[in-house]
Structure 1
Amino acid sequence: MNKQTVTIYDVAREAEVSMATVSRVVNGNTNVKPSTREKVMKVIEKLDYRPNAVARGLASRRTTTVGVIIPDITNLYFSSFALGIDDIAAMYDYSIIMANADQGREEKVVTDILSRQVDGLVYLGHTMTDKIRHEVERTRTPIVLAGMIDPEGTMPSVHIDYESAVSESVSRLFDQGIEEVAFISAPEYQVDDELGRFNGYKDALASHNKTLDPALVLTAENSRYRAAEEVGQQLIESKAQAAMIIGDELAAGVSNYVQDHGLKVPEDISIVSSNNSIITEIVRPQLTTIAPPLYDIGAVAMRILTKLMGEKTAEDEIIENKNILPYKIIVRDSTK
Structure 2
Amino acid sequence: MAVTIYDIAKKADVSRSTVSRVLNDSGYVKEETREKIIKVMKELNYTPSAIARSLSTNKTNTIGVVIPEISNPFFGKITKGISEVADKNNYNIILCDTNESVEKELKALKVLKEQRIQGIIITPTVAENEFNSEYLNALENLGIPIVLLDGHIKYSDFNGVFVDHIKGACDATQALLDEGHRKIAIITGRMESRPAKERLNGYKKALAINNIPVDEKYIFYGDYTHEKAYEITKQIMSMEDRPTAIFVSSNIMILGCIRAFYEENIRIPEDMAIIGFDEVDTLNIIGMNISFVSGPTTELGRTSMKMLIQNLKDKDHKDIRRINLLPKLVLRGSEKRID
**TM-score band, normalised by shorter chain:** 0.7 to 0.9
When residues 198 and 153 of structure 1 are mapped into structure 2, their CA distance, relative to the original with a 3 A threshold, is: farther
Conserved? CA contact 2:225–2:253, under 8 Å: yes
User: Residue 242 of structure 1 is aligned with which of 238, 242, 245?
Assistant: 245
Residues 1:62 and 2:59 aligned together: yes
Conserved? CA contact 1:99–1:109, under 8 Å: yes
User: Residue 206 of structure 2 is aligned with which of 204, 207, 223?
Assistant: 204
Tell me which residue corresponds to 1:113: 112
SS at 2:66's partner residue?
Answer: strand
Q: Which amino acid aligns with 2:233?
A: G
User: Residue 217 of structure 1 is aligned with which of 216, 219, 232?
Assistant: 219
In the TM superposition, residue 307 of structure 1 has moved relative to its aligned partner by 1.2
Conserved? CA contact 1:150–1:192, under 8 Å: no
In the TM superposition, residue 60 of structure 1 has moved relative to its aligned partner by 5.8
Q: Which amino acid aligns with 1:286?
A: N
- Map 1:120-199 to 2 at 5 A: 120-127=119-126, 130=132, 131-150=134-153, 154-187=157-190, 190-199=192-201
CA distance in 2, matches of 1:254, 1:68: 31
When residues 323 and 280 of structure 1 are mapped into structure 2, their CA distance, relative to the original with a 3 A threshold, is: farther
Tell me which residue corresponds to 2:327: 327
Tell me which residue corresponds to 2:100: 103
1:183-233 CA-to-partner distances (Å, cap 9, x unmatched) read 11232x64123221111111112112222222211123x423333321111
| Unpaired runs of at least 5, structure 1 | 1-58
Tell me which residue corresponds to 1:51: none
Q: Give the fraction of aligned pairs with identical amino acids, expressed as a percent.
A: 22
CA distance in 2, matches of 1:126, 1:330: 29
> Given the two structures, how large is their TM-score scaled by the length of structure 1?
0.74
In the TM superposition, residue 158 of structure 1 has moved relative to its aligned partner by 1.2
CA distance in 2, matches of 1:89, 1:146: 16
Residues 1:85 and 2:86 aligned together: no
CA-atom RMSD in angstroms = 2.4
1:263-299 CA-to-partner distances (Å, cap 9, x unmatched) read 2111121111111242352355321001112111101
| Unpaired runs of at least 5, structure 2 | 1-55
SS at 2:139's partner residue?
Answer: helix
1:138-189 CA-to-partner distances (Å, cap 9, x unmatched) read 22221112233456572222122110110111011112110111111232x6
- After superposing on structure 2, the runs of 4+ consecutive aligned residues of structure 1 that deviate more than 4 Å are 149-153
When residues 301 and 277 of structure 1 are mapped into structure 2, their CA distance, relative to the original with a 3 A threshold, is: farther
When residues 229 and 150 of structure 1 are mapped into structure 2, their CA distance, relative to the original with a 3 A threshold, is: same
When residues 267 and 200 of structure 1 are mapped into structure 2, their CA distance, relative to the original with a 3 A threshold, is: same
Work out which of the two has the higher radius of gyration on C-alpha atoms and give 1 or 2: 2
Tell me which residue corresponds to 1:233: 234
In the TM superposition, residue 82 of structure 1 has moved relative to its aligned partner by 0.1
SS at 1:193's partner residue?
Answer: helix
> Given the two structures, how large is their TM-score scaled by the length of structure 2?
0.73
Tell me which residue corresponds to 1:47: none
CA distance in 1, matches of 2:98, 2:208: 37
When residues 149 and 279 of structure 1 are mapped into structure 2, their CA distance, relative to the original with a 3 A threshold, is: farther
Q: Which amino acid aligns with 1:331?
A: L
1:101-148 CA-to-partner distances (Å, cap 9, x unmatched) read 012233332333233221111112344553332211122221112233
CA distance in 2, matches of 1:284, 1:180: 27
When residues 124 and 201 of structure 1 are mapped into structure 2, their CA distance, relative to the original with a 3 A threshold, is: same
Conserved? CA contact 2:136–2:156, under 8 Å: no
Tell me which residue corresponds to 2:35: none
